[in-house]
Amino acid sequence: MTLIDLANPTRFLALTARVLPWLAAATVLLLAIGLYQTALAPDDYQQGATVKIMFIHVPNAWLSMFVWGVMSIASLGTLVWRHPLADVAAKAAAPIGAAFTFLALLTGSLWGRPMWGTYWEWDARLTSVLILFLMYLGLMALWRAVDDPSRAARAAAVLTLVGALNLPIIKFSVDWWNTLHQPASVMRMGGSALDKSFLIPLLVMAIAFTLLFVTLHLAAMRNEILRRRVRSLQMMQASRVAFSSEMGATSRGQNASKEVGAA
């Protein structure tokens, strides 16, 4: 299986049709194992059961960045290698990435509620993720703004790459902005020294969520390919059948003028 093989959308559809059920099964299995281990994991001596939000939050946060990376590679594929599936991959990934980012924000604020007393704190990490979320939404708006996907693809690719270069800068500025205003009393989320009883379920969950992304992404790519086929079929229908109906219209037109002439 090489990239060249995958370049053919038909081949891609056939291949993914075979792979997807296995992927989905593996995802469900790993998620089940991860959730089970999460349930078994001990409560934190400070945070109590709240700490278990971490097992959902951290994988989502990791994926929010990972998906942007996937889109950046796909964008390179669009701009540099002109791979025919690259813009399909980029377009399909954007809403999924936005969803993971949203879940990261949501779980983050639920986790923060008992610690900060508010649902939202302009904490450096959460704020960066919020900006990332806005960039995802902007990218989706760009895809939606143009009807023709191949025209939108290049613009979206440029924006994605600029975003990838800009994200570290944004992250750095937000950190700086935040420490400027708040002396370092900010909660360290996740902590650095994790016990093994936390680490293993967390890793399992991370892998499970990554698999979930791969599954969803492949399915979304299939949908996008099919959607484009429907679109081109519709365009063909608009132009092709016009020809045959033109003949009908001609005869009708002639009939009409004959009738008028007779009248």
Partner 1 sequence: MQLSGHDLICVRGGRQVFAGLDFAAVSGEAVAVVGRNGSGKTSLLRLIAGLLVPAGGKIALEGGDAELTLPEQCHYLGHRDALKPALSVAENLTFWADFLGGERLDFTESLATVGLEHATHLPAGFLSAGQRRRLSLARLLTVRRPVWLLDEPTNALDVAGQDMFAGLMCEHLSRGGMIIAATHAPLGIDSRELRIGGVA
Partner 2 sequence: MCGADSRRSNHHWKPPMTALSALIRRDIRIALRVGGGALIGVLFFLTVVVLMPFAVGPDLALLSRLGPAILWLGALLASLLTLDRLFMADHEDGSLDLITMSRTPLELACAAKALAHWLAAGLPLIVATPVLGLLLNLDMVATGAVALTLLAGTPALTFTGMIGAALAVTLHRGGLLMAVLVLPLSIPVLIFGVAASQAVIVGPMTFGAPFSILCALSLVSLVIGPFAAAASLRHGLD
Q: Could you list the residues that contact partner 1 (CB under 8 A)?
A: 147, 234-235, 237-239, 241-242, 245-250, 252-257, 259-260, 263
Q: Which of 10, 118, 192, 244 binds partner 2 (CB under 8 A)?
A: 118
Which of 17, 39, 115, 134 lies at the binding interface for partner 2 (CB under 8 A)? Answer: 134
Told to check if 130 binds partner 2 by CB under 8 A, we report yes
Q: Does 179 bind partner 2 (CB under 8 A)?
A: no
How many CB atoms neighbour CB 126 within 10 A? 21
Work out what residue 172 binds among partner 1, partner 2, none; the CB cut-off runs from 5 to 8 Å by kind.
none
Which of the ranges 7-15, 79-87, 175-183, 194-202 carries the binding residues for partner 2, by CB under 8 A?
Answer: 175-183
Looking at beta carbons only, is 39 or 226 nearer to partner 1? Answer: 226
Contact (CB, 8 A) for 167 and 132: yes
Query: CB under 8 Å, gap of 24 or more: what pairs does 50-57 form?
Result: 50/111, 50/114, 50/115, 51/198, 53/107, 53/110, 53/111, 54/111, 54/189, 54/190, 54/198, 54/202, 55/201, 55/202, 55/205, 56/103, 56/107, 56/205, 57/104, 57/107, 57/108, 57/111
| C-alpha neighbours within 13 Å on the C-beta side of residue 68 | 29
Partner touching 182 among partner 2, partner 1, none, CB below 5 to 8 Å by kind: partner 2
| Closest CB to partner 1 among residues 144, 154 | 144
DSSP track, 29-62: HHHHHHHHHHHHSPPBTTTBGGGGGHHHHHHHHH
**d(C-alpha 88, C-alpha 70), whole Å:** 12
172 binding partner 2? (CB under 8 A):
no
Q: How many CB atoms lie within 10 A of CB 69?
A: 13
Q: How far is the CB of 259 from partner 1 (least distance, A)?
A: 8
Of partner 1, partner 2, none, which one sits near residue 246, judging by CB under 5 to 8 A according to partner kind? Answer: partner 1
* CB 237 to partner 1: min, Å: 6
Q: Which of 18, 181, 188, 196 touches partner 2 (CB under 8 A)? A: 181
Whole-number Å distance between alpha carbons of 112 and 20: 36
Size of residue set near partner 2 by CB under 8 A: 21
Asked if residue 59 lies in contact with residue 52, where contact means CB atoms within 8 angstroms, the answer is: no
Region near partner 2 per CB under 8 A, out of 3-11, 44-52, 72-80, 127-135: 127-135
Comparing CB distances to partner 2, the nearer of 149 and 190 is 149
Q: State the binding partner of 149 from partner 2, partner 1, none, CB within 5 to 8 A by kind.
A: none
Query: Distance between CA 185 and CA 129 in Å, rounded?
Result: 20
The token pair at 85 is 């599936």
Position 35 contacts partner 2 (CB under 8 A): no
Residues lying near partner 2 in the complex (CB under 8 A) are found at 109, 118-122, 127, 130-131, 134, 137-138, 141, 144-147, 177-178, 181-182
